[in-house]
A = this chain, B = another copy of it.
Amino acid sequence: MGGFWFTEKQTENFGITMKINKTLHTEKTDFQQLDMAETEEWGNMLFLDGMVMTSQKDEFVYHEMVAHVPLFTHPNPENVLVVGGGDGGVIREVLKHPSVKKATLVEIDGKVIEYSKKYLPEIAGDLENERVEVIVGDGFMHIAESKNEYDVIMVDSTEPVGPAVNLFTKGFYSGISNALKEDGIFVAQSDNPWFKADLIKQVMSDVKEIFPITRLYTANIPTYPSGLWAFTLGSKKHDPLKVAEERFHEIDTKYYTKELHNAAFALPKFVKDLTE
């Protein structure tokens, strides 16, 4: 493996490693180490604090699965909030839903937005859309100040280290509940069941105390630890497993399908056990 390689130690004793053609930008921002690089296998990639955030080649999985599961579950999502997600990928997917009148992005690190626009244009391009409001600020505070406002809230954060640590607390989920309308839905990325079983257990347990309907679903993301990513969904009224057939409309995706919407909730036995 001569030449430039980037290695992410996903645990103390396991990692992935990828050939780098060049670094595109490296900076210690006010919040985290931001690296953008051109990889041979995955196209341009964004790393925060040494962890893979997104790549041009596999980004669609995460972004589609965060967005479409709650947006098809909700009968008429109009006002949507994305916390984190400065690369713009979730916003791009949100805008594929014609019912959405406004999508707000609250990203704490403006540099993530800046360099995603520059080096990941097909992901971040829709941040310029007229239906989108971009706020550079603290998502935790924004949630705390919002009441009965959003139909769907998506938490697209990093791991619970660095600036994202508050986003994995019961207080945050409670704030989200208040910020949602009476039939609102929220989704948060919840790491993976192979290396972070305790985290998933905790998040599910915390969210269950606040939302009447709580479900975990997964998707395969090859550049994320274990390749199996979990998402926690909390809903006040609508069940993602009881979406009316006619609710699904045509949508241009590479991962999400109507069938996969339901299948994503069928968990491997050892993951299901974490949720009970």
Instruction: From B3, B37, B58, B228, give the contact of A7 (CB < 8 A).
Output: B3
Interface pick from A71-79, A158-166, A180-188, A253-261: A253-261
At the interface, yes or no: A61 with Cβ under 8 Å from chain B?
Answer: yes
Give how many copies assemble into the complex. 4
A254 and B270 form a contact (CB under 8 A): yes
At the interface, yes or no: A35 with Cβ under 8 Å from chain B?
Answer: yes
A266 and B260 form a contact (CB under 8 A): yes
A6 CB contacts on chain B under 8 angstroms: 3-5
| 8 Å CB interface, A72-93 against B | none
B22 and A39 form a contact (CB under 8 A): no
At the interface, yes or no: A1 with Cβ under 8 Å from chain B?
Answer: yes
- Which residue of B is nearest A1, CB measured? B1
Instruction: From B2, B9, B254, B262, give the contact of A263 (CB < 8 A).
Output: B262
Q: How far is the CB of A275 from chain B (nearest CB, A)?
A: 13
At the interface, yes or no: A145 with Cβ under 8 Å from chain B?
Answer: no
Q: How far is the CB of A211 from chain B (nearest CB, A)?
A: 22
| 8 Å CB interface, A1-50 against B | 1-9, 11-23, 26, 35, 37, 39-42, 50
At the interface, yes or no: A101 with Cβ under 8 Å from chain B?
Answer: no
Instruction: From B4, B18, B259, B264, give the contact of A37 (CB < 8 A).
Output: B4
A111 to B193, CA, bound (A): 34
Q: How far is the CB of A265 from chain B (nearest CB, A)?
A: 8
At the interface, yes or no: A226 with Cβ under 8 Å from chain B?
Answer: yes
At the interface, yes or no: A194 with Cβ under 8 Å from chain B?
Answer: yes
A15 and B14 form a contact (CB under 8 A): no
A270 and B255 form a contact (CB under 8 A): yes
Q: Given the known A-B contacts A222-B228, A263-B262, are A7 and B1 also in contact in the complex, defined by CB atoms under 8 Å?
A: yes
Using a CB–CB cutoff of 8 Å, the interface residues on chain A facing chain B are: 1-9, 11-23, 26, 35, 37, 39-42, 50, 58, 61, 194, 218, 220-222, 225-228, 253-257, 259-260, 262-270, 272
